[in-house]
Structure formats: C-alpha cells, structure tokens
A and B are shown apart, each in its own frame.
Chain A
Amino acid sequence: MLAIQGLTKIFPAPAGEVVALRDIRLEIGPGRLVTFIGPSGCGKSTLLKIAAGLDASYEGSITLDGRPIEGPSVEKGVIFQEPRLFPWWTVEKNIAANASLRDAAVRRRVGELIELVRLKGFEKAYPSELSGGMAQRVAIARALLRRPKVLLLDEPFGALDAFTRAHMQEVLLDIWQADRTTMLFVTHDLDEAVFLGQQVVIMNPRPGHIRRVVSVDLPYPRQRTGAPFQEIRGVVLREFEKVEEAPVPDPGAGI
C-alpha cells in the first residue's frame, strides 16, 4: 500500500516560490495499476520522483507499506522516459546490473524476464543496437528483476511512435497481469491513461493538485474503439475542458 498524505512540494524560485504540488492525498492498494494524467506543470512527474525517493524535500508524508520513503531503493522500481541503459553492457547484463549473472538464480530470472518482455535472441545485444521500444523493455525488465513493491513509470512510452507505443502498452499489461506489481503510470496521453489504468488520476497545474480520480471498470484487454471506452475517455476529457473554463482550482480536491 502506497499512502500519500498532505503532500506539498515547493520549488524555491528567484521570483517567489513555485508550488509544484499542493496537499496531495492518495492511497494506492497493492497490485493496482493507476495512471496519472495532466498537462505539463501539473506536478505528476514530481509526485513520481518523490515516490521514488529521488526527491526528499517535501512536506507531508508518503509511506510504502507503512514505512516512510527515505531515498531511492530497488523496492521502488523507476522507469524514466528514456531507457537509461548502461551503454557498455549487453541486454542481459543491463538487466542484471549489479546482480551477478554468475548466480544461477539471477541467470534464470533474467532469462524469464527476457521472455516476458519479448526480447529473446537479443541477450547479447548492446543498447545502441536496440530500438527505443526494445530499450525501454530492457529497462522494465531491469526494474522487475528486483521484484519491486511498486513500479513508477514516468511517461515511459512518450518518445515512441504510435504503433510501438500501442504494442508496449500491451506488453506492460501482460507483465502486470503476470506479476501484479503495483504500478503508477504517468502520461500525457489520454488514450493511454484510460487504456491502462484501473483508475485515472487527473491532475491540474498551478498549483499541482488532484482534480479527480476516475475509475475505469472495464475488463482487460480493452477495446479502444468500443463505446464504454469512449464514454470514459469522454468523462476524463470533459474534466480538462472544465479546467480551461475555470482556471481557479479547488485546493481541496482529492479522493
């Protein structure tokens, strides 16, 4: 269980301070897949960074299974927008990283993960030989090897073309259904948010806050063209339209 209470993040700036996040309240149960969507500047990536332990200057509390998050760790796997692989390591070594491939258990698990992210045959390839989608799958496998309690994905497919992105979304759902790792998935793509999330957290900027949480009670795999999908997509879209009409946000909005 990831629990966020009264989380506020302020960036000091030359001209006064910038409130990146204000009073975020959110609880995400184990095994949930929650997507976060909002325009740039709404603080969704900042929220993820704090959850990852990469940013420790905030007010409020954020706990994972009751323990406060203090610094980054393998419990909280992070997938960045760029794959961030080590260019001098092959695919399998990148997945193992500081775990030894000489360890039989690690070897076996790396092999399983390579199958899971559909990279069989590329074990010995270097990152420079991979496409963007393949590299991102390596990054996902690297995080999964550490059996994280929660996987934090920060616009991981944002740099991929539409076809690769759709494919990656399916791969990710396969992984989630096989592993049931808790996932927080930040995106600015409306379809992606509704296609993946059990819940869609809609965020707004200035100051960054949660506007509404929409539940998506549709079975997987979802049909993007189906009427129920389009209906929920419409609900989420209307939230954004409302924001543009009324720029002054309600600070207390949460769950």
Chain B
Amino acid sequence: MLEPSRTKAALLNALVGLLLPLSILAAWQAAAWGGWLNEVLLPPPSAIAEEFAAMSRSGELPLNLGISAWRALLGFVLGGGLGLAAGLWVGFSWRAERLVDPTLQMLRMLPHLAVAPLFILWFGFGEASKILLIAKGAFFPLYVNAFLGVRSVDRQLFDVARVLQFTRSQTLRHLILPAALPSILLGVRLSLGVSWLGLVVAELMGSSDGLGYILNDARSFSLTSVIFVGILVFAAAGKLTDSIVKLLERRLLRWQTTLKGVE
C-alpha cells in the first residue's frame, strides 16, 4: 500500500531532477541549429552524441574508461583504506592525535599538482605514481571523517556500555563503529569523488591510456567533441559511484532520522 506511492515519488524526483539539464540541452541544440555557435569551440549535443557512439563502437571509450576506473578504484582502496584506519586510530587515542594529526593536516593541504612531479620522479611514469597520487587524495576525506565520527560518539552511551559491561571489542563493534558510520560513509563518498577527480590530474601528466589521456590528446588536436564526451563520461561515472554509496548509506543507516529537506 505504501510501495506504489513511494515508487511514484521516486519517479517524480527523477523527472524533476532531469528538468534542468534537459532544457539546457534543448536550448544548446537549438542555438546550434540557429547557427549562433562556433561548432569548433562548442559542438552541438548531436555532434557530441555522434562522437560518443563512434567512440563506443570502436571500443576506445569502454577500454579507456575501464583502465581509468581500475586506477581510481585501486587508488581509492589504498588511500581510503589507510585514511579510514588512521582516522579510527587517531579518533580513539588522544596520544595518536597529538602525534600524527598536525602532520597529516599539513600534508592534507598539499595540492595534487604540486606533488605530482615528485611522484613521477620517484615512482616513474608507470601505474605506481598514478595510483599513489589518487591514493593521496582519497586518504584525507576518509581520515578526517572517520576521526570526527569516532569523536562524535554520544558520551552518555559510554556510561550505558559500562553498566552493561561491554567488553572492549563490544564497545568498538556495538557503539563506536555504528555511531561513527554516518561520518565514515560521508568520508567514503568524498574520497571516491576525490579519487575520480585526482585521476584526471594523474592521467594528464604522461599517460598513454585512460580517460585523462583521451582528454589531453583531444586537447592537442582541438577535438572539442571528444573533450565533451570525456567530460560527460567523467560526470556520469562519478554520479554512478556516488549513487551506489548513497544506496549503501540508505541501507546501513535505516535507523537514522534525518531531515530530508523542506520545501
């Protein structure tokens, strides 16, 4: 009895979400047909769609997307995993916080572009430097949010855990981790986003495959439609991974009552 109305609402949400991009596309295409656009600088949606179809057919797009996704995933798993572990550790222990947090906060401010040349010198042009650069980006959002999550555990519940005689591991599993989970999942979303963004930087500098390479290559030949295809694929892939985490969030945080947004 509740389900149909819920799917209906979800459908409506999706339609409303599409309203803005669709009207922009329509206006864009109309402007191209009207001859108001320089098609080299700003190709019409139809040309971009054709390019997309051609690149998909030739296998160029799926292949490079796959390579890029694999790099982003490895970088995210490495950096995000370490960030999560470090965030939990520093969250638990004020000694650890005192020892490592100032350093990590300093490293956090280093831009990708500043360290990329060093990474290439140290680790070469191969996969290692790219994955490490992505990992560096993915580390910090998870570190910061896991840390905050552990610190935001309701102190009153610790008294309850003591009265119920929770063991250390029970306190960790039943109290601290669930309480920190909303923050950790937010960290996962941010880290995934940063991994995806760091990918372009990593691939823009000396790469012979991947989406970043396609973008860079297209730029040197002024193939704007290819650049647009690259950008759109980036956006779509980023949104897709984000949606997957959001889905996970909804499942894991069913107990949470959060404001869904008013009018």
- How far is it, in angstroms, between the C-alpha of A242 and the C-alpha of B14 when the chains are bound? 70
Residue ID in chain A nearest B182 by CB atoms? A88
Query: By the criterion CB–CB under 8 Å, are A72 and B254 in contact?
Result: no
- How far is it, in angstroms, between the C-alpha of A54 and the C-alpha of B166 when the chains are bound? 14
Q: Mark A49-78, 1 if CB is under 8 A from B, else 0.
A: 000101000000000000000011110111
Query: By the criterion CB–CB under 8 Å, are A97 and B164 in contact?
Result: yes
* 10 more A-B residue pairs beyond the given contacts A72-B159, A73-B165, A78-B160, with a C-beta to C-beta distance below 8 A: A52-B163, A54-B159, A72-B162, A72-B163, A80-B156, A86-B157, A86-B160, A88-B181, A97-B166, A126-B254
- How far is it, in angstroms, between the C-alpha of A97 and the C-alpha of B160 when the chains are bound? 10
Return the 7 tightest CB-CB contacts between A and B, nearest first.
Answer: A128-B257, A88-B178, A72-B162, A72-B163, A88-B255, A126-B255, A84-B160
Which A residues from 6 to 40 make CB contacts under 8 A with B? none
- How far is it, in angstroms, between the C-alpha of A71 and the C-alpha of B166 when the chains are bound? 13
Kindly list chain B residues whose C-beta atoms are within 8 Å of the C-beta of A84. 156-157, 159-160
Kindly list chain B residues whose C-beta atoms are within 8 Å of the C-beta of A52. 163
A131 to chain B, nearest CB (A): 14
Which B residues from 155 to 183 make CB contacts under 8 A with A? 156-157, 159-160, 162-167, 170, 174-175, 178-179, 181
Residue of B162, B164, B167, B170 with highest tally of chain A CB at under 10 A:
B164
Kindly list chain A residues whose C-beta atoms are within 8 Å of the C-beta of B178. 86, 88
- How far is it, in angstroms, between the C-alpha of A156 and the C-alpha of B221 when the chains are bound? 74
| Residue from A74, A88, A126 within 8 A of B163 (CB atoms) | A74
Residue ID in chain A nearest B253 by CB atoms? A88
Q: Mark A75-100, 1 if CB is under 8 A from B, else 0.
A: 01110101010111100000001100
Kindly list chain A residues whose C-beta atoms are within 8 Å of the C-beta of B164. 74, 97-98, 142, 146
- How far is it, in angstroms, between the C-alpha of A77 and the C-alpha of B175 when the chains are bound? 19
- How far is it, in angstroms, between the C-alpha of A236 and the C-alpha of B220 when the chains are bound? 91
Q: Mark B169-199, 1 if CB is under 8 A from A, else 0.
A: 0100011001101000000000000000000
- How far is it, in angstroms, between the C-alpha of A146 and the C-alpha of B163 when the chains are bound? 11
Query: By the criterion CB–CB under 8 Å, are B157 and A74 in contact?
Result: no
Kindly list chain A residues whose C-beta atoms are within 8 Å of the C-beta of B174. 86, 97-98
Query: By the criterion CB–CB under 8 Å, are B159 and A86 in contact?
Result: no
- How far is it, in angstroms, between the C-alpha of A54 and the C-alpha of B156 when the chains are bound? 12
- How far is it, in angstroms, between the C-alpha of A72 and the C-alpha of B158 when the chains are bound? 12
Kindly list chain B residues whose C-beta atoms are within 8 Å of the C-beta of A142. 164
Query: By the criterion CB–CB under 8 Å, are B156 and A72 in contact?
Result: no
Which A residues from 109 to 151 make CB contacts under 8 A with B? 126-128, 142, 146
- How far is it, in angstroms, between the C-alpha of A78 and the C-alpha of B158 when the chains are bound? 13
| B256 touches A (CB below 8 Å) | yes
- How far is it, in angstroms, between the C-alpha of A73 and the C-alpha of B174 when the chains are bound? 18
A224 to chain B, nearest CB (A): 32
A45 to chain B, nearest CB (A): 13
Residue ID in chain A nearest B179 by CB atoms? A88
Query: By the criterion CB–CB under 8 Å, are A77 and B163 in contact?
Result: yes
Residue ID in chain A nearest B157 by CB atoms? A84
Residue ID in chain B nearest A126 by CB atoms? B255
Kindly list chain B residues whose C-beta atoms are within 8 Å of the C-beta of A73. 163, 165
B208 to chain A, nearest CB (A): 48
Residue of B170, B174, B179 with highest tally of chain A CB at under 10 A:
B174
Query: By the criterion CB–CB under 8 Å, are B175 and A54 in contact?
Result: no
- How far is it, in angstroms, between the C-alpha of A133 and the C-alpha of B162 when the chains are bound? 24
A76 to chain B, nearest CB (A): 7
